[in-house]
Each structure stands twice: as C-alpha cells, then as structure tokens.
Amino acid sequence: MTSNFISFIYRNRIVKIKNLDPNETLLDYIRIKLTKTGTKNGCSEGGCGACTVVLGELKDNEIKYKAVNSCITFAPTLQGKQLILVEDLISKDGSLHPVQEAMVNYHGSQCGFCTPGFVMALFAMFKQNSKFKDDTIRDSIAGNLCRCTGYQPIIKAAKSLKNKKKFDQFSHNQKTTIKLLKKINKISIAIKTNGKKYFAPRYVSELKKLLKKNIDADLLSGGTDLSLRVTKERQDINSIIYMNSIIDLNFIKNNDQYIEVGASTPLIDLEIYIKKYYPDFTKILKRYGSPQIRNVGTVAGNIATASPIGDCLPLLLSLNAQVILKDFKKTKTLNLDSFFINYRKTKLKKGQFIYSVIIPLFKKNKFKAYKVSKRFDDDISSVCAAFNIEIVKNKIQSVRIAYGGMAAIPKRANLCEKILLNSLINDETISKAKKALEKDFRPISDMRASGVYRMEIAKNLLEKCCIEIKENKTIGVYA
C-alpha cells in the first residue's frame, strides 16, 4: 500500500499529515507546525544535541526508543514511528518524569538551553537500558553540549536514575502504542509537494522500480550528511528516495567467512554486533559522532559519502571489505580498495545503490584501529588508522594498513605494508615502516590538523600498534 500522506504516533494517537515538504526538518515541523517549542535549535547540523527528540520504532514486537537530532531529520521520515518530545514526558497529573526530576534535584540545568536535549538523550537511555553504568551515561550524552553546568550535575542526575522505578507512562501505554505502530508501519510513501518528490519504499523490489523512473533521485539513509545540504548549504533536494524505510536492507548476518551488513542498518546496531569479532571496530564506532548520529547513520552512507575522514572507511579497507552494488537489473561486487576514485568521488553510478557491505573475518589476525581528533566525543577524525596483521612465528605473514585523514580519499599504506611484510616486529622494522609512510602520503593542512601533525600521528599510531602487538597489551587510553 502506498500513501501520499505520512502517519505517525503522537500522544497515543495516529497523526496524519498531507502536503509535507520533503525538505522540511523535523525540528521545524515540531516548533512551527506542532507549536511545541521545548525542542531547541542550536546548530542545525547535528552537533549540539539541543534539538534531540526520541523516536519509538517497532522491532521484534518491542518499541526501541532512539534519540535523534531533529534538526537534520527530514519530517517525512517520521512515517511509521512514535514521536516523543520533552513536553510529553510530564504525566497527565502534572508530575515530572524520573529523568526530569533527577535533573531538577541535581541542578542539571542552569541557563536551560541545552536541558530539553539532555533530558531526551537521558530519557532514551532510561528506556533502553536496565543499568546505568558510567560509560552508558557518558555514551548517552556524548552528543549533547552544555556550556554552563560543566556536566557533573547532569552526570550525577543520570547516575541517580538507577534507583528510580523504570515503569513510566510510556510503559503504561506500551500495548496501545505497539498496536498503533503496527497499523501504520507497513505503508510505502510517495509525496509530491512544492515541486519536490519523496519516496519511502518498504522493499528492495520497490526501490528498483523507483530508481528506474527517478534516476536522479538522491538516496537518503540516515541523512547525517545529505540533510546538511538543506540545513547548512540552503539548497533544495528535489527528489529523495528514503533507504532506511526498506526492511530487507536492514540486516546483519554472518557465516564462517564474513559479516554482511545491509545498507540501511544503523551504525549503532553494527557497533554492538561487531564487538565480538573486531572489538576495535566497536571502539571507533563509539567515538563516531554521537548516539543521535549512530542511531540513524549507516555504513553504506559512510561509504557513499567517500569522505577522506569517514571513520568506517580505513577500517573496512584494512579488513579487505567489499561492497555489493545493485541497480534495477544487475548486481555487482566491488572491492572497497577500488571503489574510491577521488575526493568524495566513487564508482557508484546513477541508478545504482549500495545493497550491502561484506566484512571478511580474519580469525588469526590482529586487528587494531585508532582515531585521533581534537575532542574525544562527537568529533571528526584528524587521523584514523586501521591495521590488520597476521603474525606467524614472530614474522608478519600478511598485512593491510589503511588511513583516513591522510589523503583525498581513505587509502592503504602500500609502501609501509611492503616494508612490514615478512619482517620481524622490531625497532628497525618499525623505523623503516614509519619512514615509508612519508612516501605513501602527503597529508594536507586544514582546520583540523596540519599536514606535519598528521604525518607525525600516522607514524606514532603505527608504532603504537606494533608495540601493542609485540607486548600483547593496549597502551594509553586516548587513541
């Protein structure tokens, strides 16, 4: 069934909206059309968390509560979801939600501008976790900035939640909400408003038909890159196909040889799944944007963006990943090695889409990855490095090293790899391999780091990796 209006759940009823502009942000919809002004606008680029709202989505007959940045979410993507705003946390009898109460009791708010965003980020944590460990709290608010409190009162407020009853009005209404979500979450969307088109197919088969007729449409996954064209560059996107509504693209599976990640799988799911196989992959993903970004952003979007500082990319290159591309007729498998052509240019053709990513499992290898950025949380890499090394009888038997932030594209360190191959890990090898990096890369200087600093970091990360492998332990906590 295809509809030209979108339906979502708000305050336990189905809301239908017609004639939504496909480029309207959820934040504008909330503040202007719903006239709920608790949700704030701080940056319009997903960087401050002031606009955080929570979306309830049905998965395996349960509601998953996800914090998202409403400033970079297009309103039509609300289709089939439950919208929860800071205003909705107060019960009918006027009592505060445990999260709000904790923020009051621990003085978690001063000027108050960031407070609704923090409350919603903590609300998502409260609903999704049974224990509020220190790192769970830290992770949950990594995407929210506060310039007044120094964060400690907010962290104390969050810690106090472990003594609160988990049952709230959302638990009370859960059965009704699930029933309503089931009514609306099986609908495909086709909207034409203000000369713009928006499609949200449910299946790959529908996507292929849409692509055939709308070859110039922009594919929208998490929108954590694409939406900034509207919110920051003030451009219109005239034709959008929403990928994250496609259920048969949202999967992670594995066999003995590899993991396959469907294009619309949120990064947050990959972060949990891959920990067992590659703990350092998870370590990097934990520092990728914020939970608000990873709740919607996808590995396919990261690959298609082809940014030199895309964090998944050096990791995937070092793991010899492949991308499965499809169009309305054919399927093609490409090694990621040959996928990036130039700055933000890939081999993706019009009408093609990334179907999935294949990540081989190197069971005998050491896989290590490091990210260096100005800030620990929610910051773009100055340099990101990944090392996939097999050692047999103290010698390096195979090696794949890739860096982000060192060239116009994420790139392998071919000469450095040559030096390391068949060598023992000792001071002499490390020194030669570091020197080889100077031939592999000519990093540029920009606002994030100078070229000289980048080269120094790249060399130091290589050395750190070699020492950690040799000593079989992790050194330091930062990278």
Interface residues toward ligand FES, by CB under 6 A: 41-44, 46-51, 69, 71, 109-115, 146-149
Which one of ligand FES, ligand FAD, none is in contact with 42 (Cβ closer than 5 to 8 A by kind)?
Answer: ligand FES
State the residue number with the nearest CB to ligand FAD.
Answer: 301
- Of 58, 120, 125, 243, which one interacts with ligand FAD (CB under 6 A)? 243
For ligand FES, the closer of residues 121 and 455 by Cβ is 121
**Strand pairing partners for 14?**
9
Binding site partner of 44, from ligand FAD, ligand FES, none, Cβ cut-off 5-8 A by kind: ligand FES
Task: Give the footprint of ligand FAD on residues 254-313 (CB under 6 A).
Answer: 263, 288-289, 293, 297-298, 300-302, 304-305, 307, 310-311
Using alpha carbons only, give the angle 274, 375, 104 rounded to the nearest 5 degrees: 90
Closer CB to ligand FAD, 182 or 376, in the complex: 376
In the block, residue with structure tokens 């944590």: 125
As measured in angstroms, the least distance from the Cβ of 104 to ligand FAD is 28
Instruction: Work out whether 223 is an interface residue with ligand FAD (CB under 6 A).
Output: yes
Residue 117 neighbours by CB under 8 Å, 6+ apart: 39, 40, 42, 48, 49, 50, 51, 52, 144
Q: What is the Cα–Cα distance from 285 to 312, expressed in whole angstroms? A: 8
Residue span 374-393 as binding mask against ligand FAD, x where in contact by CB under 6 A, dash where not: ----x-x-------------
DSSP structural state of residue 166: S
Q: Is 245:189 a contact under the CB 8 Å cutoff?
A: yes
| Tokens representing residue 170 in the block | 């959302």
d(CA 360, CA 67): 31
Spell out a b/e string for 170-198, using b for 16 or more CB atoms within 10 Å of the CB, else e: beebeeebbebbeebbebbbebebeebbb
Output 10 or 113, the one with its CB closest to ligand FES: 113
Q: Select 42 or 360, whichever has its Cβ closest to ligand FES.
A: 42
CB-CB contact of 479 with 372 (8 Å)? yes
Q: Are 271 and 285 spatial neighbours (Cβ–Cβ below 8 Å)?
A: yes
The continuous run of DSSP H or E covering 178 comes out as helix 174-184
Q: Which is nearer to ligand FAD, 145 or 157 (CB)?
A: 145
Residue 101 beta carbon to ligand FAD: minimum distance, rounded to whole angstroms: 29
Q: Which of 143, 152, 155, 116 is nearest to 49 (CA)?
A: 143
Figure out which of the listed residues 47, 76, 116, 291 binds ligand FAD, where binding follows CB under 6 A. 47
How far CA 410 is from CA of 303, 318, 341, in Å, comes to: 10, 10, 10
From the CB of 106, what's the least distance to ligand FAD, in Å? 27
Partners of residue 384 on adjacent β-strands: 371, 404
Note the residue count of the chain. 479
Nearer to ligand FES, 201 or 301 (CB): 301
Residues ≥6 apart with Cβ < 8 Å to 167: none
Q: Of the two residues 342 and 472, which places its CB atom closer to ligand FAD in the complex?
A: 342
Is there a contact between 15 and 8 (Cβ–Cβ < 8 Å)? yes
**Could you tell which of ligand FAD, ligand FES, none binds residue 22, using a CB distance below 5 to 8 A set by kind?**
none
Strand order from edge to edge, sheet including 258-262: 252-254, 258-262, 353-360, 322-326, 331-335
Q: Report CA 167 to chain centroid distance, whole Å.
A: 29
Q: Which of residues 116-155 bind ligand FAD (CB under 6 A)?
A: none
Using CB distances below 5 to 8 A depending on partner kind, what does residue 48 bind out of ligand FES, ligand FAD, none? ligand FES
* Binding window for ligand FAD (CB under 6 A); candidates: 86-94, 122-130, 218-226, 269-277: 218-226
x-marked contacts with ligand FAD along 396-435 as a string, rule CB under 6 A: ----------------------------------------
Q: Count Cβ atoms within 10 A of the Cβ of residue 342 and give its class: 0-12 exposed, 13-18 middle, 19 or more buried.
A: exposed
How many residues make contact with ligand FAD (CB under 6 A)?
Answer: 33
| Binding site residues, ligand FAD, CB under 6 A | 45-47, 72, 218-226, 243, 263, 288-289, 293, 297-298, 300-302, 304-305, 307, 310-311, 348, 353-354, 378, 380
